[in-house]
């Protein structure tokens, strides 16, 4: 009883702020049309390149599209990128990492070489290389990120499982005659997964940045889709005269990234005190 009270009373502040930002982002991502005042792709040649006003809170771009509406609609794509670009690396990396950490030996050596090979290249360069081979587009971007990203999760999980498998309760599981798979996934993994979950949150922030970068470079979401990176790229020729086209999507990236990072920090704190 006292424990439960203590826990709710001390929910870390980063988690509360981060959670609130993410909740709002999710709401915008699921119901963009409810919040957006205009159609994001409607041209209005009567209102080209207008600065922020009461009619257009974030101004309009060179086609007269409402920047606010485009920023809101972009939540749908960018939140999707945050989730899909990270969930597969998380799942694949967790399974492979748990197996490698438990089995050890040769599997560990081979895995170590793969890690070395992957981290030798800068992440963005590797992803851009893969996307340019597969062709631009969101699906290919997920594939490219997945091929590279699982390594980081697997490395975290493998290290944790390696520690956990030497503890008494793992021995106790073996003494009770449980299968190796059962010991790995039912007994060791719940004890090993915390750092990977925390990293996952941070990774989602990075995924949004990556998605926007690829969108900016024309390798991710394709125009005229409303996506923050694409919007920033669209506005780059007008930076001197119509800064609002690029700056507001940029702020949205910062805010959402902050939401994920704060949630990750807060989660780390909660999960750490629980132990």
Partner 1 sequence: MRAVLDVRNLTTRFSTPTGALVAVNDVSFSLREREILGLVGESGSGKSVTLRSLIRLLPSIASQSGEVIWQGHDILKMSPKEVRAVRGGQISMIFQEPTTALNPVLPIGLQIDENLRAHTTLSHRERLNRARELMDLVGIPEAARRLAEYPHQFSGGMKQRAMIAIALASNPRLLLADEPTTALDVTIQDQILKLILDLRDELAMSVIFVTHDLGVVAATCDRMAVMYAGRIVETGTIADVFARPMHAYTRGLLGSVPRVGTERSPLMSIEGTPPGLSSIPRGCAFHPRCDFATNVCRVSQPVTETVEPEHDVACHNSLAVLEAGSPVQ
Binding residues vs partner 1 (CB under 8 A): 3, 167-169, 171-179, 182, 186-187, 190-191, 275
Here the tokens at position 98 are 């748990």
Q: Give the integer Cα–Cα distance in Å for 271 and 172.
A: 24
Please say which residue, 113 or 180, places its beta carbon nearer to partner 1: 180
Residue identified by tokens 């909660």 is 270
Write out the two tokens for 110. 């081979």
3-state SS assignment for residue 112: helix
Tokens of 218: 């024309």
The tokens for 224 are 């005229």
Length of the chain equals 275
Nearer to partner 1, 193 or 214 (CB): 193
* Closest approach of partner 1 to the CB of residue 22, in Å: 25
Which of 127, 157 has the CB closer to partner 1?
Answer: 157
Which residue's CB is nearer to partner 1, number 35 or number 178? 178
CB of 270 to partner 1, least distance (A): 14
- Between 45 and 275, name the residue whose CB sits nearer to partner 1: 275
- Shortest CB 275 distance to partner 1, Å: 7
Neighbours of 247 (CB within 10 A): 16
CB of 191 to partner 1, least distance (A): 5
Q: Are 224 and 210 in contact (CB under 8 A)?
A: no
Q: Residue 170 Cβ, how far from partner 1 at the closest point, in Å?
A: 9
> What is the nearest approach in angstroms of partner 1 to the Cβ of residue 163?
12
Residue 3 or 133: the one with the smaller Cβ distance to partner 1 is: 3
Full DSSP string of 208-270: HHHHHHHHHHTSSSPTTS--HHHHHHHHGGGTTT-THHHHHHHHHHHHHHHHHHHHHHHHHHH
């Amino acid at each position: 009883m006292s424990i439960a009270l203590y826990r709710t009373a001390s929910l870390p502040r980063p988690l509360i702020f981060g959670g609130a930002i993410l909740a709002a982002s999710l709401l915008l991502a699921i119901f963009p049309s409810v919040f957006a005042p205009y159609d994001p792709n409607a041209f209005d040649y009567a209102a080209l390149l207008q600065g922020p006003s009461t009619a257009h809170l974030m101004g309009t771009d060179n086609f007269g599209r409402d920047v606010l509406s485009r920023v809101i609609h972009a939540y749908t794509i960018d939140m999707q990128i945050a989730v899909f670009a990270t969930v597969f690396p998380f799942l694949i990396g967790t399974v492979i990492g748990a197996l490698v950490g438990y089995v050890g030996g040769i599997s560990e050596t081979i895995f170590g070489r793969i890690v070395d090979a992957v981290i030798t290249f800068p992440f963005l360069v590797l992803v851009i290389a893969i996307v340019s081979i597969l062709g631009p587009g969101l699906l290919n971007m997920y594939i490219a990120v997945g091929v590279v990203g699982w390594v980081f999760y697997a490395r975290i999980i493998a290290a944790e499982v390696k520690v956990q498998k030497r503890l008494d309760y793992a021995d106790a599981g073996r003494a009770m005659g449980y299968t190796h798979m059962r010991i790995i996934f039912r007994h060791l993994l719940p004890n090993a997964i915390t750092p990977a979950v925390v990293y996952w949150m941070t990774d989602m922030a990075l995924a949004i940045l990556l998605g926007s970068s690829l969108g900016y470079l024309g390798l991710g979401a394709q125009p005229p889709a409303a996506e923050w990176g694409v919007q920033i790229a669209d506005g780059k020729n007008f930076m001197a005269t119509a800064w609002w086209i690029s700056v507001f999507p940029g702020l949205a990236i910062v805010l959402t990234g902050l939401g994920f990072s704060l949630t990750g920090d807060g989660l780390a704190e909660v999960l750490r005190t629980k132990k």
